[in-house]
């Protein structure tokens, strides 16, 4: 392993995790860094770096350390993006490349390959955090990967869910739905799902990887859904007024009836090099995901307002960053 040189709804007060143990005094004298572990896809890398820039805006004394695990299909694009970041911005960001992993030849589809790749990288992530912690105080680990060592070295671990709150709400509810039936969604053609925070939907119209409960892709996503309550917080790329019902359902904890829901931070709309016209484009994409096209003009204005100082996304990110222990 080597270095390549060189926000949101407020968390629900009803679902607080136990406080982390205090860092040793020696850690408080170290450089403070936020570790960002990215799923092996270029759009995840871009979105995560943009989130990192916002964190630095709120806490300029932090540095960012991005853990990079590149699959062969994405390695070239990610390398080009990292080179561009070094050439275009002057921010304290470094990229820590994880060692290569060897995938079994028996993997039969892209979903299995991606999930197995992330699972095999857990050891590399642990080793990287251990190495970084020798010189820096790692205040948080934020990840968009589906497999991650939760709270390793007592580092609070956050899931950066790059989609909207409606999709997050569904995944939080998936384990309970799974336990209530033995039928696959694809075999439930006339079954309507009535879920908190979501419009009524037909089970058989869910995305293809979720239709067959006996398929490996379904099992991967179910395992991911079961892991979500283990995180110290959930970060979603949306904003309060875009998806009020889904945001409220997640924040109130009703999506996990038999457990605790981590605090929710809605930090969207998060896009690269945000300008008003680009915010408008990203908001339009989010609107299509939640079927709110008729409110596009009003929602565009609200999306821009969410990221002005004092807006909901601005305040939520500030609250999350402010919760991290500092030396």
Residue 327 forms part of a structural domain: no
pLDDT at 73 over 80: yes
pLDDT, residue 14, reads 39
pLDDT at residue number 89: 78
Say whether pLDDT at 196 is over 70: yes
Q: What is the DSSP string of 209-253?
A: GGS-TTSHHHHHHHHHHHHGGGSSEEEESS-TTTSHHHHHHHHTT
Q: CA torsion angle for 52, 79, 3, 6 (degrees, to 10)?
A: -70
Structure-model confidence comparison of residues 128 and 111, the more confident one: 128
In a domain, 225, yes or no: yes
- The percent of residues above 90 in pLDDT, for the chain, comes to 63
Which segments of the chain does DSSP mark as H helices, in order? 42-58, 72-88, 110-120, 122-133, 165-180, 216-227, 244-251, 276-289, 296-306, 312-322
Beta-carbon count within 10 A of 247 CB: 26
Q: Are 98 and 125 in contact (CB under 8 A)?
A: yes
Report yes or no on 268 lying in a domain. yes
The two three-digit tokens of residue 28, written as one number: 């408080």
Q: What is the mean pLDDT of the chain?
A: 84
Question: What is the extent of the structural domain holding 175?
Answer: 2-322
Position 68 in a domain:
yes
- CATH number (domain holding residue 142): 3.40.50.2000
Q: Decide: pTM greater than 0.85.
A: no
Q: What is the CA radius of gyration of the chain?
A: 20
The pLDDT of residue 110: 87
pLDDT at 95 over 70: yes
How many separate domains does the chain show?
Answer: 1
**pLDDT tens sequence across 204-259:** 999 999 999 999 999 999 999 999 999 999 999 999 999 999 999 999 999 999 99
| Band of pLDDT at residue 1, cut at 50, 70 and 90 | very low
Which range (15-19, 141-145, 195-199, 303-307) has the least confidence? 15-19
């Amino acid at each position: 392993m080597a270095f390549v040189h060189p926000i949101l709804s407020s968390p629900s007060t009803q679902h607080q995790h136990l406080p982390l143990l205090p860092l040793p005094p020696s850690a408080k004298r170290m450089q403070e860094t936020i570790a960002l572990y990215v799923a092996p896809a270029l759009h995840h890398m871009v979105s995560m770096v943009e989130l990192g820039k916002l964190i630095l805006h709120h806490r300029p004394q932090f540095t960012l350390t991005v853990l990079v695990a590149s699959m062969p299909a994405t390695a070239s694009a990610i390398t080009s993006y990292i080179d561009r970041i070094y050439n275009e911005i002057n921010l304290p960001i470094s990229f820590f490349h994880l060692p290569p992993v060897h995938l079994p030849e028996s993997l039969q589809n892209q979903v299995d390959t991606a999930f197995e790749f992330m699972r095999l990288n857990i050891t590399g992530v642990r080793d990287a955090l251990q190495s970084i912690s020798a010189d820096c105080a790692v205040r948080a680990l934020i990840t968009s990967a589906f497999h991650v060592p939760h709270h390793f070295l007592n580092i609070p671990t956050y899931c950066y869910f790059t989609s909207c709150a409606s999709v997050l709400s569904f995944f939080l509810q998936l384990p309970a739905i799974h336990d209530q039936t033995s039928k696959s969604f694809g075999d439930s053609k006339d079954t309507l799902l009535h879920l908190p925070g979501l419009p009524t939907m037909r089970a058989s119209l869910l995305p293809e990887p979720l239709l067959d409960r006996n398929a490996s892709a379904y099992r991967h996503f179910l395992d991911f859904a079961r892991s979500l309550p283990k995180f110290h917080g959930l970060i979603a790329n949306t904003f309060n007024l875009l998806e009020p019902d889904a945001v409220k359902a997640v924040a109130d904890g009703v999506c996990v009836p038999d457990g605790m829901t981590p605090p929710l931070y809605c930090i969207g709309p998060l896009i690269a090099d945000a300008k008003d016209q680009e915010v408008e484009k990203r908001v339009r994409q989010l609107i299509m995901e939640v079927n709110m096209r008729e409110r596009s003009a009003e929602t565009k204005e609200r999306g821009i307002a969410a990221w002005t100082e004092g807006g909901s996304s601005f305040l939520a990110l500030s609250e999350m960053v402010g919760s991290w222990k500092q030396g």
